[in-house]
Amino acid sequence: MIRKAVRSDTQDILRIYSAARAYMIANGNRSQWINGYPECLLDEDIQKGRLYVVCGEDGTAHGCFVFLVGEEPNYRIIEQGAWGSDMPYGTIHRMGSDGTIKGVFAQVLAFCAGQISHIRADTHEVNSIMQDLLEKHGFARRGMIYVEDGTPRIAYEYQR
């Protein structure tokens, strides 16, 4: 089950972020989700209704992600490639799992694709786990974009 996150989910979301960060570090990604990120956006994400949780059968949150429909400013400029379409799109951000249930990304993609057929995402160049997940689920690598702090991210696009 996927639902919008509420304030009472905060402890579960922090646990998920912590588990995801530990997994990234254990797999060679020490440069993403540092210096209080993504926790610094947690309240804003919940307030704006863009943070979702993936719950197990018992109702406990085991994954979370941000989903936005509309323009992502960081995607206006893409280098070393091009977007495949300029149709309206949704963007998946800050996807994390505590690793206790399988298929979280597949659930996230099905949920997002049920809202809009054109989806974009990006990830750090050392986040091979997310790159593999995106490519396994039909996302095409499109080029490089830059986030607010000027660091590059690999841009991906999915269309049903």
| pLDDT computed for residue 100 by the predictor | 95
Rg over CA atoms, the chain: 15
Please tell me the distance from the alpha carbon of residue 153 to that of residue 74, in angstroms, as a whole number.
10
pLDDT in tens, 86-134: 999 999 999 999 999 999 999 999 999 999 999 999 999 999 999 999 9
Residues paired with residue 153 on neighbouring β-strands, in sequence order? 145
| pLDDT computed for residue 29 by the predictor | 86
Nearest in space to 13 (alpha carbons), one of 60, 80, 64: 64
Q: Which amino acid is at 98?
A: D
